[in-house]
Structure 1
């Protein structure tokens, strides 16, 4: 069973800033985000967590990129 992605007009008001930032960076709303939009509170919490991980200054940025790349490879992410 697959989750049917929501359309932008169905997104909660809480997700509008995240949609704006995603469009600004990637020029479109990614499909995983459209599925996460069913649970806006969890989506916002996950976005805050991801921002805090990216902003953490102790870990070398190159190492962070390598870890992200490797984890994407492990789960079969196409981008």
Structure 2
């Protein structure tokens, strides 16, 4: 865990108690640690041998579509709205 006293001065402008500052610093530390672990391949999914969705898709390709994304869905819906207004 981080050295709370080293970082709490950065939060002096916020209306937080000492305990709240410590909690925020610990949460940010954990978040950053998770990102670094993921980039280095040390996160649980990478250590387990790959993404669970890929394993599920390989076992049952009809159950999972890996080509779907939020942006694809948004684009389809936006196109539909634009065509309806024409």
TM-score, scaled relative to structure 1: 0.27
TM-score, scaled relative to structure 2: 0.26
The structure with higher relative contact order (CA 8 Å, sep 6+) is 1
Higher radius of gyration, 1 or 2: 2
